[in-house]
């Protein structure tokens, strides 16, 4: 079971996630939720959360991505958020950005297909009115680790506090590619 602070924040995040999905006219039940991500501002918090997550599942990856450690945990029990069941948590160590809320920050959805067309395919899932909203931001990126062999572009859609990211591959596929 999650510690009380993260469990309480999960309820906040679920409400925010469902509101964002509604704003985007995005039916979350149509997607595979790959993983959920935490954000914190201090290394000591990240280390404490890592120890807690080790009691809730298995560390499946610890990598340097964009200059900071990121741990991925496969959970013994899934986390349910609306129609989504998620069995993987991403825990990055703090970077340069300050997060006003330490806790759950985004989910990542798999939109399987050609990585070169991910951005267009992800945009097609979102309503035109949401994309025109000044409260919705889009960020295209190509995060990667030194070992990564699969191109895994990202489209991040955010309302400033909650983010939904789209990728062409699951995190487990990316990890498996690193072992090849």
Per-residue pLDDT tens for 146-156? 565 777 899 99
Output the six-digit token pair for 126: 């979102």
What integer is the mean pLDDT of 61-83? 91
pLDDT at 116: 92
pLDDT of residue 176: 85
Pair 167, 111: CB distance under 8 Å: yes
pLDDT, residue 146, reads 56
> CA distances (Å), 22 to each of 53, 127, 131, in order?
30, 10, 13
The answer to whether residues 65 and 143 touch, using CB atoms and an 8 Å cutoff, is yes
Q: What are the sequence ranges of the domains in the chain?
A: 4-179
142 pLDDT higher than 90:
no
Cβ 20 vs Cβ 137: under 8 Å: no
Q: pLDDT, tens digit, for every residue of 93-115? A: 998 888 888 999 999 999 999 99
Position 22 pLDDT exceeds 90: yes
Check whether 143 has a pLDDT greater than 70. Answer: no
Cβ–Cβ contacts within 10 Å for residue 81, how many?
A: 21
Please count the other Cβ atoms lying within 10 Å of the Cβ belonging to residue 50.
16
Query: Which tops the pLDDT comparison, 90 or 101?
Result: 90
* Rounded (10°) CA dihedral 5, 11, 14, 15: -130
Q: CATH for 4-179?
A: 3.10.180.10
> By three-state DSSP, how is residue 130 classified?
helix
Structure confidence at residue 24 (pLDDT): 95
- Report residue 56's pLDDT band, with 50, 70 and 90 as the boundaries: very high
**Residue 7: helix, strand or coil by DSSP?**
helix
Q: Is 128 a residue whose pLDDT tops 80?
A: yes
- Summarize the confidence of residues 120-127 as an average pLDDT: 94
Q: What is the mean pLDDT of the chain?
A: 91
Task: State whether the Cα torsion 74-75-78-84 is positive or negative.
Answer: negative
């Amino acid at each position: 079971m999650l510690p009380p602070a993260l469990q309480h924040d999960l309820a906040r995040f679920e409400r925010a996630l469902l509101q964002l999905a509604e704003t985007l006219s995005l039916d979350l039940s149509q997607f595979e939720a790959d993983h959920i991500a935490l954000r914190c501002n201090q290394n000591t918090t990240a280390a404490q959360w890592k120890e807690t997550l080790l009691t809730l599942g298995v560390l499946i990856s610890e990598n340097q991505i964009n200059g900071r450690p990121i741990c991925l945990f496969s959970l013994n029990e899934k986390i349910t958020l609306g129609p989504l069941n998620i069995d993987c948590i991403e825990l990055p160590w703090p970077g340069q950005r300050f997060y006003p809320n330490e806790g759950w920050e985004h989910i990542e959805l798999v939109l399987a297909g050609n990585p070169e067309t991910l951005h267009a395919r992800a945009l097609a899932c979102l309503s035109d009115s949401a994309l025109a909203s000044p409260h919705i931001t889009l960020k295209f990126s190509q995060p990667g680790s030194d070992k990564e062999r699969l191109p895994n572009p990202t489209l991040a859609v955010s309302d400033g506090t909650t983010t939904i990211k789209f990728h062409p591959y699951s995190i487990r596929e990316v990890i498996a590619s690193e072992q090849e």
